[in-house]
């Protein structure tokens, strides 16, 4: 929670639960289920510890200021308490005051947030998959028929003493099941919360079978009015409903409540990340407990940003990441944002897109790591990935970030024309080293290396040819050049040969571009992906315009990646139809040659190019005329069976 008064209310609740005037107890008692404390010396675990900042309940609180830390230290000295704990501080907060006062961070996992960016079922389908979403809904609907559900404002709890008693009893039983019997939600703790500043924003949710309470939960509305903190749940384990996914079904109901109330998020609190991901969480914020204890040594912390790549252009080394993107890892869901000069009266569309795409990057990497030919991608992290507005935008970004005036760009015609277009726009000298061989699949590696370009851009599978390059030649180029090698893999999912994405972690001069416009069917979402070592990604981020990857696009991408079965099946259909069309076209009298293809198109050389192109135009069929790259050729995208048959009929009319 972001307000000090809210954190103080939770501290008062903790004091009541501990039966003391101050929020102080042993770490063994305070952190009963917290793995962050397990490696500590037993003596540290048993010493009396004062809790400052937020209490050990689900919400987090900001890192305390220097003045607050000084007050906390004085308070511990007055109470003769030897240790101080400031729990659940976001790693994105400024911890300098804590560090200066001798506090040491203990990694405490991450807090999880479910962002409500649309219909609940659509959101869950995109994040956990259609099967899981349907299971949650069925469980929720079944429980709704079987159990009644009531919401009681905590400030009105005196009117429902039965709910208070059931809440305390179910939490007492839960504490006993955990072993030591300590109940942070005792009657005294609940009363302290009901008497505090959070009472009007806190609700108890109760499910009953007749007069018997089966489940209780507690939620607090955020101070900015935009979301809910889910504090706790407890279930009667003797009830038949306890055998179902009651916890998840209750959260599903909570999401519906929040959406109907116009809220934007539900905070699930700290916990095991994969489990929270299966509940629909899509924002994970790393946390630390900060402990001040005698003899405790600080861990070695990694730098906040990666070291900039040696390939960064000179101007890029002198500028930071643009302001909004610098704070991309700092969550703003529970703050009041008066910094962006937007219109607050016209709904969610008036807010800028989410900049923290870490979870989406992890989803993408996890998805492609399971595809054939993607060995090695499991070693990549979100720091190796940048989302762009299509992979073409990625080309412009990397040329601007990594090439300075006078440094050359090498392309290998026939290839995608926009590579040369962007190089010319940026006034970068262009070197053309044509592909060789009958299938236009051989690199002239010696000529490329002799030209010593700053950037070499390869298209593999090639557009417009459809062939794959010789992997031995590609690897020789990557290891032999002093410059960067960019491999555009826009069509790689249609190929049965491996991707180069897995090599990114091994080479600091390799960039692999991917897109979701082709195989993944999301051309309208404008999602490109650059895979490279973190120092290069940082350089690209310094020239990228913030907010180009919209929330709608992020949602569409997440949905497609999470529910990938349909897209992967369509790739198989396209491959089969491509091979069928290649066989038929190879024997067609209007066709001189069909080039081999590992993409979703075929390059065809025609006997009577102009006549055939006119006939196709008159028949209302559009193909790409690429005769300016390869004489007498056109590039035919693979459509569905009806569209492909229409093309064949039109070709026959042109003979």
CA atoms within 13 A on the CB side of 306: 21
pLDDT exceeds cutoff 60 at 302: no
Averaged pLDDT score across all residues of the chain: 92
Name which of 87, 73, 91, 76 is nearest 22 in CA terms.
76
Helix crossing, 418-425 with 391-402: angle to 10°?
A: 40
Q: Which residue has the tokens 């003596």?
A: 43
36 or 208: which carries more pLDDT confidence? 208
Domain 572-653 part of CATH 3.90.1150.10? yes
Q: Which of 555, 567, 568, 569 lies closest to 127 in space, CA to CA?
A: 555
pLDDT recorded at residue 351? 85
Q: Where does residue 538 rank: exposed (0-12), middle (13-18), buried (19+ CB within 10 A)?
A: buried
Neighbours of 119 (CB within 10 A): 11
Whole-number percent of the chain with pLDDT over 90:
79
Contact partners, residue 336, CB within 8 Å, separation at least 6: 223, 224
Predicted local confidence at residue 303, as pLDDT: 45
Residue-wise pLDDT for 81-140, tens only, equals 999 999 999 998 999 999 999 999 999 889 999 999 889 999 999 999 999 999 999 999
pLDDT tens-digit map of 620-652? 999 999 999 999 999 999 999 999 999 999 998
pLDDT bucket at 298, cuts 50 / 70 / 90: low
Condensed to tens digits (0 to 9), the pLDDT of residues 25-46 reads 998 888 766 778 888 898 999 9
- Residues 44, 550: Cα–Cα separation, whole Å: 48
Q: Considering only 205-209, 252-256, 334-338, 430-434, which range has the smallest mean pLDDT?
A: 334-338
Kindly state the percentage of the chain with pLDDT values over 70: 98
Judging by beta carbons within 10 Å of its beta carbon (0-12, 13-18, 19+), is residue 513 exposed, middle or buried?
Answer: buried
Query: Residue 142's CB: how many other CB atoms inside 10 A?
Result: 13
Average pLDDT over residues 511-531: 97
Residue count of the chain, please give it.
655
Unique residue bearing structure tokens 């005294």: 188
Helix (H) or strand (E) segment spanning residue 625 = strand 624-625
Question: Given this model, what pLDDT does residue 622 score?
Answer: 96
CATH fold, domain 352-563, is: 3.40.640
Comparing 172-176, 236-240, 297-301, 528-532, which segment has the lowest mean pLDDT? 297-301
The alpha carbons of the chain give a radius of gyration, in whole angstroms, of: 30
How much is the average pLDDT of 15-23? 91
What are the Cα distances from residue 359, in Å, to 383, 553, 574? 11, 14, 30
pLDDT at 414: 98
pLDDT tens track for 230-241: 999 999 999 888
Query: If you average pLDDT over residues 519-529, what whole number do you get?
Result: 96
Question: What is the mean predicted confidence (pLDDT) over 369-386?
Answer: 95
- Across 478-600, where does the E strand assignment appear? 484-488, 510-515, 528-531, 591-594
What are the angstrom distances between the C-alpha of 172 and each of 34, 270, 385?
19, 21, 46
The residues spanned by each domain of the chain are 4-292, 352-563, 572-653
Structure-derived torsion over alpha carbons of residues 133, 135, 138, 141, reported in degrees to the nearest 10: -60
What was the pLDDT predicted at 14?
92
CA angle 67, 62, 157 (to 5 degrees): 110
Integer Cα distance of 141 and 593 in angstroms? 59
- Domain 4-292 class, CATH top level: alpha beta
């Amino acid at each position: 929670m972001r307000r000090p008064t809210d954190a103080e209310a939770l501290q008062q609740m903790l004091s009541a639960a501990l039966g003391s005037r101050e929020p102080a107890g042993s770490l063994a008692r305070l952190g009963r289920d917290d793995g962050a404390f397990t490696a500590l010396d037993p003596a540290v675990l048993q010493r009396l510890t004062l809790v400052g900042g937020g209490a050990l309940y689900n919400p987090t609180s900001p890192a305390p200021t220097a003045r607050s830390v000084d007050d906390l230290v004085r308070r511990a000295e007055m109470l003769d308490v030897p240790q101080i704990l400031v729990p659940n501080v976001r790693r994105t907060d400024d911890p300098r005051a804590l560090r200066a006062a001798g506090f040491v961070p203990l990694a405490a996992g991450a807090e999880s947030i479910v962002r409500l960016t649309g219909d609940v079922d659509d959101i869950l389908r995109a994040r956990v998959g259609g099967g899981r979403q349907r299971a949650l809904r069925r469980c929720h609907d079944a429980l709704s028929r079987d159990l009644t559900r009531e919401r009681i404002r905590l400030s009105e709890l005196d009117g429902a003493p039965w709910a208070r008693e059931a809440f305390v009893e179910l939490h007492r039983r839960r504490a006993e099941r955990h072993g030591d019997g300590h109940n942070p939600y005792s009657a005294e703790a609940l009363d302290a919360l009901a008497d505090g500043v959070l009472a009007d924003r806190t609700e108890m949710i109760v499910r009953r079978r007749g007069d018997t309470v089966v489940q209780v939960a507690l939620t607090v509305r955020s101070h900015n009015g935009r979301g809910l903190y889910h504090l706790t749940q407890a279930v009667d384990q003797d009830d038949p409903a306890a055998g179902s996914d009651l916890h998840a079904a209750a959260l599903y109901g909570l999401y519906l409540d929040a959406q109907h109330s116009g809220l934007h998020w539900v905070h699930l609190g700290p916990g095991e990340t994969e489990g929270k991901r299966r509940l629909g969480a899509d924002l994970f914020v790393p946390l630390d407990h900060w402990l001040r204890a005698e003899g405790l040594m600080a861990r070695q912390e990694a730098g906040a940003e990666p070291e900039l790549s040696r390939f960064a252009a000179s101007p890029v080394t002198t500028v930071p990441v643009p302001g909004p993107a610098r704070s991309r890892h700092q969550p703003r869901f529970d703050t009041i944002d008066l910094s962006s000069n937007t219109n607050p009266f016209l709904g969610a569309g008036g807010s800028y897109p989410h900049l923290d795409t870490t979870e989406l990057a992890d989803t993408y990497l996890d998805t492609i790591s399971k595809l054939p030919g993607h060995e090695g991608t499991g070693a990549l992290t979100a720091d190796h990935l940048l989302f762009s507005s299509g992979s073409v935008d990625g080309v412009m970004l990397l040329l601007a970030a990594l090439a300075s005036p006078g440094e050359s760009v090498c392309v290998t015609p026939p290839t995608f024309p926009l590579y040369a277009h962007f190089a010319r726009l940026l006034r970068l000298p262009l070197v053309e080293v044509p592909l060789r061989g009958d299938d236009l699949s051989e690199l002239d590696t010696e000529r490329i290396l002799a030209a010593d370009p700053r950037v070499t851009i390869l298209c593999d599978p090639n557009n417009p040819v459809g062939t794959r390059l010789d992997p031995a030649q590609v690897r020789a180029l990557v290891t032999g050049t002093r410059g960067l090698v960019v491999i555009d893999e826009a069509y790689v999912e249609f190929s049965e040969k491996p991707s180069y994405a897995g090599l990114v972690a091994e080479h600091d001069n390799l960039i692999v571009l991917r897109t979701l416009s082709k195989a993944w069917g999301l051309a309208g979402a404008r999602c490109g992906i650059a895979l490279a070592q973190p120092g290069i990604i940082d350089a690209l981020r310094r020239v990228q315009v913030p907010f180009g990857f919209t929330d709608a696009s992020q949602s569409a991408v997440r949905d497609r990646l999470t529910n990938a079965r349909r897209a992967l099946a369509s790739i198989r259909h396209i491959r089969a139809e491509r091979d069928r069309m290649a066989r038929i076209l190879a024997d067609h009298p209007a066709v001189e040659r069909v080039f081999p293809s590992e993409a979703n198109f075929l390059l065809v050389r025609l006997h009577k190019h102009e006549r055939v192109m006119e006939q196709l135009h008159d028949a209302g069929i559009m193909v790409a005329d690429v005769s300016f790259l390869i004489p007498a050729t056109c590039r035919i995208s693979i459509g569905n069976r009806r569209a492909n048959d229409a093309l064949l009929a039109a070709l026959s009319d042109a003979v």
